[in-house]
Every structure is written in structure tokens, then in C-alpha cells.
């Protein structure tokens, strides 16, 4: 038991252990979401359950990989915390997106999310900025105008106040 606790709290696995605890909390809290009217297979809790299960499986793969490394390479230095943060940064970027989605609205949170994700993958500032602006506005136009979805406009930064012409365009279309 002591060796298992030492393994999860080692410097290679500490951040992954924290994310595992967050994902397990996310999973169990999603079980308490209200059910829909019908007995659908897919309901409001389906997406959080799927995300938490996929995240848990990926973190378990990371634990397995670190366990194999630890047994295989005894004298060499293992992954540092910086390398683990680099491996888990897509999860961290997604958590930031989820937390800011309602606060600053779809446009700003998606712009930040796509920029950080593309910059993480590509490492070119200009490409990440241009593509994130493009993809955010294409998705916004598709859902807000094309499919007439009500997108979160934000409470901290109200997108309707920043861009007052968005509602006028929507009223002229519908």
C-alpha cells in the first residue's frame, strides 16, 4: 500500500493523480444530473460520463507507461513535472475552456481555447491566431445563424454588448 501511494505521489505521477481525482469527481457528480423526460439512452449526463471515462483511461495509460519506465530504467532520470504538464496540457486547456465558457461567452472562450490548443500543437503564434479566429467565427456563424442556436454570450464579458450587431443580423435573418 505504501509503495502504491508512493507511486501515485511521485514527481512523475503527481499531476496525473490530481487530474484523476478531478475526473473521478466529475464522473460522480455527473451521475446526479437530472434525467430527461423520456428514457433515452443519451441524456444530459452522457457527455460528462464519456469525457471522464476517456480521461481516466488516458491517465491510467500514463500511469502504466510511467510504471514500465520506472521498472525499465532505474538509474536514468524519469520525466520531470514540466514534461508531465506538457503531456496533460490538452486536458488543462479543456478545463479552462469549460470553466470560462459561461463566464466570457462562446466567442471569447472558443477563441482562447482554439488558440491555446493550436499553439500547443503547432508552436507558431501567427498560424494559431489566424486559424483560431477563423474556426471560432465559422463555428459561431454556423450554429448561431445557420442552425439558430442560442450561444452563451457570457456574464463577465457580455458578447451582446461588445458586438451589438450580432443580434441585429440574427433578427434580419429570422
DSSP character for 41? S
Q: Is this model's pTM higher than 0.75 or not?
A: no
* Mean pLDDT rounded to a whole number for the chain: 82
Query: Among residues 58, 65, 64, which one has the least CA distance to residue 23?
Result: 58
Q: How far apart are CA 169 and CA 174, in angstroms?
A: 9
Query: Residue 16 has which C-alpha cell?
Result: 496525473
- Segment 149-158 shows an average pLDDT of 84
Alpha carbon of 81 to those of 22, 65, 73: distances in Å? 18, 15, 18
Helices 125-140 + 81-122 axis angle, to 10: 70
98-140 tens-digit pLDDT: 888 888 988 999 999 999 999 988 878 999 999 999 999 999 9
Using an 8 Å Cβ cutoff, are 104 and 157 in contact? yes
Q: How far apart are the first and last CA of the chain?
A: 63
22-62 tens-digit pLDDT: 888 888 888 887 766 655 566 677 788 888 889 888 888 88
Amino acid at each position: 500500500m505504501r509503495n502504491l501511494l508512493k507511486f501515485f505521489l511521485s514527481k512523475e505521477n503527481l499531476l496525473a493523480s490530481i487530474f484523476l481525482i478531478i475526473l473521478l469527481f466529475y464522473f460522480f457528480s455527473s451521475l446526479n444530473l437530472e434525467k430527461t423526460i423520456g428514457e433515452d439512452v443519451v441524456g444530459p449526463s452522457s457527455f460528462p460520463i464519456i469525457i471522464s471515462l476517456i480521461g481516466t483511461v488516458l491517465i491510467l495509460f500514463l500511469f502504466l507507461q510511467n510504471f514500465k519506465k520506472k521498472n525499465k530504467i532505474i538509474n536514468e532520470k524519469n520525466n520531470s513535472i514540466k514534461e508531465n504538464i506538457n503531456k496533460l496540457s490538452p486536458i488543462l486547456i479543456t478545463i479552462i475552456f469549460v470553466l470560462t465558457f459561461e463566464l466570457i461567452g462562446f466567442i471569447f472562450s472558443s477563441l482562447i481555447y482554439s488558440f491555446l490548443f493550436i499553439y500547443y500543437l503547432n508552436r507558431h503564434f501567427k498560424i494559431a491566431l489566424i486559424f483560431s479566429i477563423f474556426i471560432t467565427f465559422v463555428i459561431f456563424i454556423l450554429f448561431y445563424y445557420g442552425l439558430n442556436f442560442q450561444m452563451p454570450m457570457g456574464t463577465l464579458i457580455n458578447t451582446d454588448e461588445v458586438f451589438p450587431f450580432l443580434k441585429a443580423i440574427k433578427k434580419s435573418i429570422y
